[in-house]
């Protein structure tokens, strides 16, 4: 028994260390989560005041022009203001969702992807660059348990990154969605500048950016939405410098 003591002690020390490291990792993860949730909630909250006053100002304008022969320009401005306010409301509600309990409901993912692409298609001509935006879907009619708004937010971030990667270059963005085993795959490919292999994992960390005006938040948010809220995977499937980049989302079909 005495002979075995050093071994037993050694095992106890190892177990102690393992628990210690596990505990530290848990604390770090909880801390990270708290920062995310806090920041997101504060952002949603901060949006509230200017948004209500914007709605108020819009109402004042509408009242001022009530009864008078509104000219087309004012009507146009008011309409634009309304759609901008609606968009801001949506952004605030998305931030509010980060850190809340997400209710995933069976949704038509095909339509959600299509709507997101159409949103960009309308805005692309103003980007003064020729981008061919393609969508190839094999998931029409499938219902998948997701939070539609958060998935849209993720797709918007990914497509925005493709547009940035194509800066000053004619190119394409191709979105493909297909079922595979019990999962749905969404692959977003562009023929932009590419990502070096050493950065494949790091670009999903907050604060990692190569852009002058970037925050390095888009992909970390996307990772959180896909992996924490939807139990899926998001990764760089492939990238070759100045040839192509494929970002892949894998969602469990359930
Ligand atoms: N499709 C892509 N092609 C080339 N590089 C990419 C692509 N997508 C992401 N990256 C690289 O990953 C980095 C991190 O992307 P992420 O979306 O997290 O942040 P960002 O776009 O720099 O800033 P933000 O999204 O916060 O405005 C980018 O700065 C870019 O270098
Ligand atoms: Mg981005």
Among 192, 188, 214, smallest CA distance to 203 is for 214
The answer on 204 and 247 residing in a single domain is yes
Q: 242, 61, 88, 55: which is closest to 165 by C-alpha?
A: 242
Residues 118-131 have pLDDT tens digits of 999 887 766 556 89
Instruction: Tell me the best of 157, 161, 194 to mutate to test the pocket of ligand 1, counting ligand atoms within 8 Å of each CB and taking the most.
Output: 161
Which pLDDT score, from 0 to 100, does residue 128 have? 59
Please check the confidence at residue 163 and state whether its pLDDT lies above 90: yes
190 lines ligand 1 (CB under 6 A): yes
- Closest ligand, as measured to the CA of 223: 1
Q: What is the spatial distance between Cα 225 and Cα 147, in angstroms, rounded to a whole number? A: 9
Which tens digits make up the pLDDT trace of 11-52?
888 888 888 888 877 777 777 777 877 888 788 888 878 888
Find the mean pLDDT for residues 225-238: 96
Cα separation, 153 vs 90, whole angstroms: 10
Number of compact structural domains in the chain: 2
pLDDT at 245: 98
For residue 7, how many C-alpha atoms fall within 13 Å in the half-sphere facing its CB? Answer: 4
Q: Residue 2 — pLDDT band, cuts 50, 70, 90?
A: low
Residue of minimum CA distance from atom 9 in ligand 1: 161
Residues 61-103: tens digit of each pLDDT: 888 877 666 677 888 888 888 888 888 888 888 888 876 778 8
Ligand 1 atom nearest to 221, measured from its CA: 18
Q: What is the mean pLDDT of the chain?
A: 88
Q: Is 247 part of any domain?
A: yes
Question: Can you give the pLDDT at residue 254?
Answer: 77
pLDDT at residue 189 is higher than 80: yes
Q: Residue 247 CA: which ligand is closest?
A: 1
Q: What angle do CA 150, 34, 32 make, to 5 degrees?
A: 90
Q: What is the DSSP string of 196-245?
A: -GGGTTGGGSTT---STT--S-HHHHHHIIIIIIS--EEEEEEEETTTEE
Q: Are residues 109 and 226 in the same domain?
A: yes
Residue 85, domain extent = 11-97
* CATH label of the domain that carries residue 133: 3.30.565.10
Please indicate whether residue 208, judged by its CB atom, sits closer than 6 Å to ligand 1. Answer: yes
One domain, residues 171 and 83: no
Residues in the chain: 254
Residue 179 has pLDDT above 80, yes or no: yes
**Where is the domain boundary, 68, 97, 126?**
97
Nearest CA to ligand 1 atom 4: 194
Q: Give the pLDDT confidence score for residue 70 in this predicted structure.
A: 63
Is residue 169 in contact with ligand 1, taking CB distance under 6 Å? Answer: no
């Amino acid at each position: 028994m005495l002979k075995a003591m050093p071994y037993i002690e050694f095992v106890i020390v190892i177990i102690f260390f393992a628990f210690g490291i596990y505990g530290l990792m848990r604390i770090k993860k909880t801390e990270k989560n708290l920062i995310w949730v806090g920041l997101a909630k504060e952002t949603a909250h901060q949006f509230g005041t200017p948004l209500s006053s914007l709605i108020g100002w819009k109402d004042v304008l509408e009242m001022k022009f009530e009864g008078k022969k509104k000219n087309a320009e004012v009507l146009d401005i008011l309409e634009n203001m309304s759609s901008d306010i609606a968009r801001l409301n949506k952004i605030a509600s998305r931030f509010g969702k980060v850190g809340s309990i997400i209710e995933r409901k069976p949704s038509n993912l095909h339509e959600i992807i299509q709507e997101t692409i159409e949103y960009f298609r309308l805005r692309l001509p103003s980007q003064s660059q020729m981008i061919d935006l393609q969508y190839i879907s094999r998931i029409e009619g499938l219902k998948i348990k997701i939070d539609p708004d958060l998935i849209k937010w993720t797709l918007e971030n990914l497509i925005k990154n493709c547009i940035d990667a194509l800066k000053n270059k004619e190119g394409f963005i191709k979105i493909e969605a297909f079922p595979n085993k019990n999962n749905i795959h969404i692959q977003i490919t562009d023929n932009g500048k590419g990502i070096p292999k050493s950065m494949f994992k790091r670009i999903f960390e907050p604060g990692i950016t190569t852009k002058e005006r970037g925050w390095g938040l888009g992909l970390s948010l996307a990772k959180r939405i896909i992996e924490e809220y939807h139990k899926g995977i998001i990764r760089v499937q492939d990238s070759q410098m100045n040839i192509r980049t494929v970002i892949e989302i894998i969602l469990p079909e359930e």
